[in-house]
Amino acid sequence: MYALLALLAFGLLLAVHEMGHLVAARLLGLRVPRFSLGFGPPLLSFQLFGTEYVIAAIPLGASATVHGMNPHAMGLEADAKSYSAQRPWRRVLVTLAGSLANYLLALGILFALYTSGTHVVVPLTVGTVVPGSEAARAQLLPGDRILSVDGQPTKSWSDFVAIIARSPGQERTLVVAREEDTRVVQVHPRADERGVGRIGVSQQYVFREHGSREALAQALLHTRRVAIEGVNLLLRMVRGPDPLEEPTSSVTVMRQSSDAASSGWDSFLRVLVTLSVALAWVHLLPVPGLDGGRLVFLAIESIRGKPVSPRVETLTHTLGFLAITGAILAVAVAEVRRALPSPQTPPPVSGALPLPPPSPDAGEATRRELAGDGGLAAPPAPAPPAPDAGTAAVPGTKPDGGPLPVDGGAANTG
């Protein structure tokens, strides 16, 4: 049910992207003969301002047919309302409008969440301590703020998690602030089932409403952080998997979407933000068949002073589209193989609990680490803690009940 909801939401984001192209083209005076929502046999169609709007049987994705984008159409040179007859800068605006629409949608959702009130992380502050864990043995308490690890100042909760994850069985010295005092404690991270170090703590949350100006500033920072995390995710995929991370995959992202949807619309909207920003940036990649590939041809045209041969452009976009389709099929095959049971995989231990899903606001498709400052995060649904693992953060406040600063981070367990 929730996977279907996430899939439909992704289709909605694609429709928003194409609607951006349509609106930009119409504002610049270009003709848009057809806009189709979904694909397959048409169920409903109507005319509006010279554009035929079609609702198809399968409500996934959309397409906007801008007159003149196909360089092989007849009579384009004599038609002043065609895409190919426009100056390069006007065509750039139409091409960028899809990604801009996705970005503005994400920004609007975040602005609404911040102004209406939502849970935000308290930077570098302990929210829960698992009984019997290393953190409990070190007498860490909710509300303690992590200042440094082994003498090195901690910049974010994700940095703290990364240090702990890479040091199972090693002693780490933490400097924590508790109210007005500073304490020095030693912890010995325990290895979980994947060999990742854990001490049994999670970050703290607080529910807060923001004013309009602050909400806009936080939304801008949030989308910026999501974009940075997307770049880092792409670099990790190129660099190769981290043995301390769950393998990154499209199913991981979909699973996070489903888990977030099950914990409420607030969390699901955050996932929608992440997907919308990711979709905006993916379309801008300089790959033929995407908006970024079309921008490359426009740049070449501006440098040469004349357009690229329509045959060359069409062939390049076709090859790019086939490459993208092949990549999608390869990912699908890899996901099917990943889903098949492996004879070498040991059966699950009775009574063991899975790691809780992380907050999806930072845009990273892993369960271990979500980096960033100044963002909001969705507290996962509460679950009984595992004896030696971190637990999901729950909303909290400072011990004295006072207001808490909003500086960001994400749900991570250490």
**Residue-level pLDDT at 347:** 47
β-bridge pairing 172-178 and 145-149: antiparallel
CB neighbour list of residue 97: distance below 8 Å, 6 or more residues apart: 20, 21, 23, 24, 25
Please give the Cα distance from 1 to 251 (Å, whole number): 15
CB atoms within 10 A of CB 348: 9
What DSSP assignment string belongs to 17-67? HHHHHHHHHHHTT----EEEEEEEEEEEEEEETTEEEEEEEEEEEEEEE-T
Please give the Cα distance from 77 to 89 (Å, whole number): 17
Tens of pLDDT, residue by residue over 263-287, are 567 778 888 898 899 889 989 988 8
Residue 104 pLDDT class (50, 70, 90 cuts): very high
**Residue-level pLDDT at 341:** 62
Helix extents (H) in 284-406: 291-304, 310-339
**Residue-level pLDDT at 342:** 53
Q: Cβ distance 386 to 170 under 8 Å?
A: no
The total number of residues shown for the chain amounts to 414
If DSSP codes are grouped into helix, strand and coil, which group holds residue 324?
Answer: helix
Q: How far is CA 125 from the centre of its chain?
A: 24
**Residue-level pLDDT at 383:** 41
Radius of gyration of the chain (CA): 25
**Residue-level pLDDT at 365:** 34
Please give the Cα distance from 381 to 394 (Å, whole number): 8
Residue 208 has pLDDT above 80, yes or no: yes
Residue 240 has pLDDT above 70, yes or no: no
Tens of pLDDT, residue by residue over 107-122, are 999 999 999 988 888 8
**Residue-level pLDDT at 282:** 87
Please give the Cα distance from 355 to 392 (Å, whole number): 9
Tokens of residue 71, six digits: 């360089």
β-bridge pairing 190-191 and 197-198: antiparallel
Q: Cβ distance 118 to 376 under 8 Å?
A: yes
**Residue-level pLDDT at 243:** 54
Closest CA to 114 of 321, 375, 382: 375
First to last CA, the chain: 32
Would the CA dihedral through 387, 392, 395, 401 be positive or negative?
A: positive
Q: Provide mean pLDDT across the span 383-410.
A: 40
Between helices 2-27 and 265-283, what is the axis angle to 10°? 50
Task: Give me the domains of the chain, ranges plus CATH numbers.
Answer: 124-205 (2.30.42.10)
**Residue-level pLDDT at 73:** 63
Q: Write out the H or E segment, with its range, that includes residue 274.
A: helix 265-283
Residue 351 pLDDT class (50, 70, 90 cuts): very low
**Residue-level pLDDT at 373:** 38
308/262: higher pLDDT: 308
Closest CA to 245 of 358, 87, 326, 385: 358
If DSSP codes are grouped into helix, strand and coil, which group holds residue 92?
Answer: helix
Please give the Cα distance from 42 to 307 (Å, whole number): 36
**Residue-level pLDDT at 158:** 84
**Residue-level pLDDT at 27:** 93
**Residue-level pLDDT at 38:** 85
Tokens of residue 256, six digits: 């996070």
Tokens of residue 289, six digits: 């068949």
**Share of residues in the chain with pLDDT > 90 (%):** 32
Instruction: Among 2-16, 232-246, 273-287, 397-411, name the most confident range.
Output: 273-287
Residue 12 has pLDDT above 80, yes or no: yes
Q: Provide mean pLDDT across the span 156-166.
A: 90
The letter for the amino acid at 63 is S
Q: Provide mean pLDDT across the span 243-251.
A: 50
CB neighbour list of residue 112: distance below 8 Å, 6 or more residues apart: none
Tens of pLDDT, residue by residue over 136-154, are 999 999 999 999 999 999 8
Q: Write out the H or E segment, with its range, that includes residue 287.
A: none
Residue 61 has pLDDT above 90, yes or no: no
Tokens of residue 302, six digits: 């501006």
186/6: higher pLDDT: 186
Question: What mean pLDDT, rounded, does the chain reach?
Answer: 76
Please give the Cα distance from 357 to 381 (Å, whole number): 9
What is the pTM for the complete model shown?
Answer: 0.69
